[in-house]
């Protein structure tokens, strides 16, 4: 394989990460301090998770302290102070540390009175923790989530002055602060999930990359699809699906794999907008792709009080439909442009890929512990992490002939800690929002409002849910974009008789797809920077390519069979009709099938896709019949166009 197809991986970038404020301490003394903090962070998490468990509140606060320490070191308050750590940064770190110490010292008493009867210094140290979370959220995720957070907290105080259903009796300043400085607020489920599950998997992803597995996945994708028509775009789909589910951030995946795939797609003939949109759309799908499904799936399991495996199995068919739809679109676009694949001498051989199959062993270990041994997610993640270290050690020893250097190991540990900063901050912020919803009862009120606005129509309710989730998710990491609407809107869907699992998956899909939805499409913007084109135009193209992702959630709500609910025959029928529907949708989006399609034909194909949303023999039969007629007609037109030049005279050949 030529050097140009060798992936150059970089540290993942979190969705919504405020890069303008991010500091670079490479080669400075502060880097050694960050190495020390992240090494202690690893020991802290592994010891508590594997050896000596502690109260979840204490564990979450400890994890938050690491996030705050690293966050205020790695992210500046303003661009002007991005080159050095300030006294303000150190002040926030010390204030948060004092809050953690106060919690440990008074834990037994705080458990009894937190959020109900605050005493003494509860308010002061609670304010320290809340202020640190708000400021860290602003630095890492920007103003969108920060202003939303402020609005929800303000509602606790202005509720008595609001009309109608939004009215509440109001709460004292002390009650609000104490309530938010408790497991009902900051230390709610999202932060607990980050501490218990997400950090281990982020660290797993860092060591998976160090072991050489990331490069292997890219080679596997090139060997599998590189030689087919439009090969580089198909490679982007496969590699982004494999890597995106591990690193858990669509924007981060665009930055890592897109740096290679987007320029290569451009060189082989794809329009720059299309090339960037393919990468952004494929990377976004990593959030919904089993077995890892990014970070939000762990939060979903906790909020639903169900097993991770149950969600993983249920999400398999919808995720495959998403990627199959994208694959169809890419293949049809390659056919329309007359593109061919990469030459064989620029691709890795299957012999080379098979010789390095062992690099995928950590993923097999993860799946074995989850599916065969029925182990906990924590144990599976730890075993996957250990196997990644071992496999990487032997790969370096026998294949590369060079051992890991201490700096390489420290860099992987650092990446594991630094890459979870923004997730930690936004999950703590989401906990504060969830706390205000619980305290004021606003969550149930929003659910009631959504049901009332829908007028009893499930379709209207789903459309409202989709819109609210996308709007709330713009500019946010997936886990935060999912946590907030899942708290307030899922009850509305359940009230409309949608099963709990499809309801949560419905919200997760649109929380993920907000990364490619204009006007604030972070994954598309990252791809546009690499492709060198207009971010907004590329995000519109990404929206078109990801259109199947916007329809699939409606499919599994109206047909829960796609989440493996029901009899085998009905599941098979729903899957087959869904495949037909997304094929029709892909042809509609690209506007090509053996020949270019006119607008009426494309609209009919879109109608076919819609007919496949709701399972039913009649709708399926009508959709299949329309598609069969259209396919026959298009192939006939294409055949006539192919034969026409043979019979044409020289004077009409140009027409």
Among 239-248, 313-322, 544-553, whose mean pLDDT is lowest? 239-248
174 or 479: whose pLDDT is higher? 174
Q: Does residue 126 sit in the same domain as residue 223?
A: no
Coil vs helix vs strand at 75? strand
Instruction: Give me the long-range contacts of 350-359 (CB less than 8 A, separation at least 24).
Output: 350/223, 352/1, 352/219, 352/223, 353/216, 353/219, 353/220, 353/223, 356/212, 356/216, 356/219, 356/395, 356/399, 357/216, 358/391, 358/395, 359/211, 359/212, 359/213, 359/215, 359/216, 359/391, 359/395
CA–CA dist 631, 584 (Å, integer)? 10
pTM for the model stands at 0.84
pLDDT for the residue 8: 38
CA neighbor of 296 nearest in space, from 155, 478, 560? 478
Percent of the chain with pLDDT over 70: 93
Query: What is the rounded distance in angstroms from the CA atom of residue 129 to the CA atom of residue 98?
Result: 9
- Identify the domain boundary among 144, 169, 190: 190
pLDDT score of 526: 86
Would you say residue 182 lies in a domain? yes
> Does residue 97 form part of some domain?
yes
Banded model confidence at residue 643, pLDDT cuts 50, 70, 90: low
Kindly report, residue by residue over 179-235, the tens digit of the pLDDT. 999 999 999 999 999 999 989 988 998 898 888 887 888 888 888 888 888 888 888
Residues 154, 224, single domain; the answer is no
The answer to whether residue 5 scores a pLDDT higher than 90 is no
Determine the average pLDDT of the residues in 436-440.
92
Q: Is residue 604 a part of any domain in this protein? A: yes
Whether residues 120 and 213 share a domain: the answer is no
What is the pLDDT of the chain when averaged over all its residues?
A: 86
Residue range 364-377: mean pLDDT, rounded: 86
Is the Cβ–Cβ distance between 634 and 584 less than 8 Å? no
Q: For residue 471, what pLDDT is reported?
A: 85
Measured in whole angstroms, how far is the alpha carbon of residue 434 from the centre of its chain? 20
- pLDDT of 367 reads 84
Q: How far apart are the first and last CA of the chain?
A: 44
**Is 496 part of any domain?**
no
pLDDT of the residue at 212:
85
For 264-308, write each residue's pLDDT tens digit.
888 878 889 988 999 999 988 888 888 777 677 888 888 888 888
Same-domain pairing of 27 and 161: yes
On whether both 175 and 204 belong to a single domain, the answer is no
Average pLDDT for 541-565: 89
The answer, yes or no, to whether residue 92 has pLDDT greater than 50, is yes
Identify the weakest region by mean pLDDT among 183-187, 404-408, 598-602. 404-408
**DSSP-assigned states of every residue in 496-515:** TT--HHHHHHHHHHHHHHGG
Distance, in Å, from the CA atom of 368 to the CA atom of 529, rounded to the nearest integer, reads 39
Same domain as 342, residue 198: yes
393, 410, 427 - which closes a domain: 410
The Cα-based distances of 31 to 74, 79, 569 in angstroms read: 10, 19, 58
Q: How far is CA 70 from CA 25, 90, 240, in A?
A: 12, 11, 28
Torsion region of 227: left, alpha or beta (phi above 0 gives left; psi -120 to 50 gives alpha): alpha
Query: Do 155 and 208 reside in the same domain of the chain?
Result: no
Which of 142-146, 212-216, 388-392 shows the highest mean pLDDT? Answer: 388-392
Q: Which pLDDT belongs to residue 7?
A: 36
Could you give the C-alpha distances from 282 to 323, 383, 610, 626, in angstroms and in order?
A: 7, 28, 23, 30
Interacting residues of 291 by C-beta distance below 8 A, sequence separation 6+: 245, 312, 363, 366, 367, 370
Q: What is the pLDDT of residue 651?
A: 43
Task: Quickly list DSSP for 372-408.
Answer: IS---HHHHHHHHHHHHHHHHHHHIIIIIS-PPPHHH
Q: Which of 3-17, 108-122, 127-141, 509-523 has the lowest mean pLDDT?
A: 3-17
Is residue 580 within 8 A of residue 624, CB to CB? The reply is yes
Residues 120 and 219 in one domain: no
Backbone dihedral region of 595: left (phi > 0), alpha (psi from -120 to 50 degrees) or beta? beta
**Would you say residue 525 lies in a domain?**
no
pLDDT higher than threshold 60 for residue 652: no
Domain span holding position 594: 575-641
Q: In Å, how far are 24, 43, 187, 426, 540 from 94, measured between CA atoms?
A: 22, 21, 19, 20, 45
* Residue 573: DSSP 8-state: H
Q: Which of 191, 193, 192, 174 is nearest to 439 (CA)?
A: 174
What are the angstrom distances between the C-alpha of 514 and each of 32, 254, 472? 37, 15, 9
Which of these, 479, 410, 421, lies nearest to 207 by C-alpha position?
410
124 belongs to a structural domain: yes
Dihedral sign computed on CA atoms, order 402, 405, 408, 410: positive
Query: Any idea what the Cα angle at residue 527 is, between residues 522 and 533, rounded to 5°?
Result: 110
Residues 391 and 301 in one domain: yes
Q: What is the pLDDT of residue 518?
A: 86
| Average pLDDT estimate for 483-489 | 86
Spatial distance between the Cα atoms of 612 and 633, rounded to a whole number of angstroms: 21
Is the omega angle on the peptide bond into residue 519 within 30 degrees of 0, that is, cis? yes
Residue 84, both tokens: 């050095």
Let me know whether 177 and 222 are in one domain.
no
Euclidean distance between CA atoms 33 and 598, whole angstroms: 62
Structure tokens at 517: 């939805």
Residue linked to tokens 């071992």: 390
Q: CA-CA distances (angstroms) from residue 35 to 14, 29, 70?
A: 20, 10, 10
Is residue 605 scored above 70 in pLDDT?
A: yes
> Does pLDDT of 648 surpass 50?
no
Instruction: Tally the residues of the chain.
Output: 655
In a domain, 345, yes or no: yes
If one counts the domains in the chain, the total is 3
Token pair 């790695």 in the structure block, residue: 74
Q: pLDDT for 70-81, tens place per residue?
A: 999 999 988 888
**pLDDT the model gives residue 19:** 59
Same domain, 172 and 271: no
Query: What per-residue confidence (pLDDT) applies to 214?
Result: 79
- SS3 (DSSP) at 592: strand
Q: Is residue 594 part of a domain?
A: yes
pLDDT at residue 582 is higher than 50: yes
Choose one of 410, 438, 459: the last residue of a domain. 410
Q: Is 452 exposed, middle or buried (0-12, 13-18, 19+ CB in 10 A)?
A: exposed
Do 306 and 347 lie in one domain? The reply is yes
Structure tokens at 200: 């281990």
State residue 246's pLDDT score: 67
pLDDT score at 534: 86
The rounded distance, in Å, linking the Cα atoms of 491 and 503 is 9
């Amino acid at each position: 394989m030529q050097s140009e197809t060798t992936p150059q991986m970089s540290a993942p970038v979190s969705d919504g990460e405020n890069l303008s404020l991010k500091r670079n301490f490479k080669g400075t003394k502060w880097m050694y301090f960050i190495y020390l903090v992240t090494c202690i962070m690893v020991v802290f998490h592994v010891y508590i998770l594997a050896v000596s468990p502690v109260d979840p509140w204490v564990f979450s606060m400890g994890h938050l302290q690491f996030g705050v320490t690293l966050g205020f070191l790695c992210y500046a308050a303003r661009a002007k102070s991005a080159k050095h750590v300030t006294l303000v940064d150190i002040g926030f770190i010390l204030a948060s540390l004092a809050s953690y110490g106060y919690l440990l010292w008074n834990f037994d008493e705080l458990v009894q009175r937190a959020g109900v009867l605050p005493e003494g210094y509860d308010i002061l140290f609670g304010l320290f923790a809340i202020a640190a979370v708000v400021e860290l959220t602003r630095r890492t995720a920007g103003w969108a989530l920060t202003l939303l957070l402020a609005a929800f907290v303000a509602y606790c105080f202005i509720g008595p002055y609001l009309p109608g259903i939004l009215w509440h009796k109001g709460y004292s300043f002390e009650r609000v602060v104490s309530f938010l400085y408790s497991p009902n607020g900051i230390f709610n489920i999202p932060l607990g999930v980050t501490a218990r599950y997400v950090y281990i998997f982020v660290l797993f992803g860092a060591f998976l990359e160090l072991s050489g597995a990331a490069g292997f996945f890219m080679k596997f994708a090139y060997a599998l699809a590189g030689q087919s028509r439009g090969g580089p775009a198909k490679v982007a789909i496969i590699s982004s699906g494999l890597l995106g589910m591990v690193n858990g951030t669509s924007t981060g995946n665009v930055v890592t794999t897109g740096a290679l795939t987007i320029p290569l797609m451009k060189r082989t003939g794809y329009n720059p907008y299309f090339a960037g949109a393919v990468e952004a759309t494929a990377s976004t799908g990593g959030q919904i792709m089993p077995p890892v499904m990014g970070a939000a799936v762990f939060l979903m399991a906790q909020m639903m009080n169900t097993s991770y495996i149950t969600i993983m199995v249920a999400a398999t068919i919808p995720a495959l439909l998403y990627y199959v739809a994208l694959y169809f679109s890419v293949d049809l676009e390659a056919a329309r442009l007359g593109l061919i694949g990469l030459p064989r001498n620029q691709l890795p051989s299957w012999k080379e890929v098979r010789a390095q199959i062992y690099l995928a062993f950590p993923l097999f270990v993860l799946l074995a512990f989850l599916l065969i041994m029925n182990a906990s997610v924590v144990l599976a993640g730890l075993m996957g992490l250990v196997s990644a270290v071992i496999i990487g050690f032997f790969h370096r020893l026998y294949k590369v002939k060079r051992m890991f250097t201490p700096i390489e190991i420290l860099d992987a540990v650092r990446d594991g800690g630094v890459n979870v900063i923004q997730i930690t901050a936004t999950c703590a912020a989401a906990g504060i929002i969830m706390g205000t919803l619980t305290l004021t009862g606003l969550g149930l009120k929003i659910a009631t409002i959504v049901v009332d606005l829908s007028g009893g129509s499930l379709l209207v309710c789903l459309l409202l849910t989709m819109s609210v989730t996308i709007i709330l998710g713009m500019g946010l990491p997936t886990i935060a974009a999912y946590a907030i609407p899942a708290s307030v809107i899922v009850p509305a869907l359940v009230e409309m008789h949608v099963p709990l699992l499809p309801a949560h998956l419905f919200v997760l899909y649109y929380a993920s797809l907000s990364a490619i939805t204009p006007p604030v499409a972070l994954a598309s913007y990252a791809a546009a920077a690499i492709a060198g084109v207009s971010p907004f135009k590329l995000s519109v193209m990404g929206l078109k390519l990801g259109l199947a992702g916007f329809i699939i959630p409606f499919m599994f709500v109206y047909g829960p069979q796609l989440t493996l609910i029901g009899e085998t025959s009905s599941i098979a029928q729903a899957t087959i009709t869904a495949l037909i529907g997304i094929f029709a949708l892909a042809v509609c989006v690209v506007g090509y099938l053996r020949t270019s399609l006119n607008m009426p034909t494309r609209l009919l194909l879109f109608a076919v896709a819609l007919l496949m949303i709701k399972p039913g023999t009649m709708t399926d039969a009508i959709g299949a019949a329309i598609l069969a007629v259209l396919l026959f007609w298009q192939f006939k037109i294409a055949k006539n166009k192919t034969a026409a030049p043979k019979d044409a005279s020289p004077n009409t050949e140009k027409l």
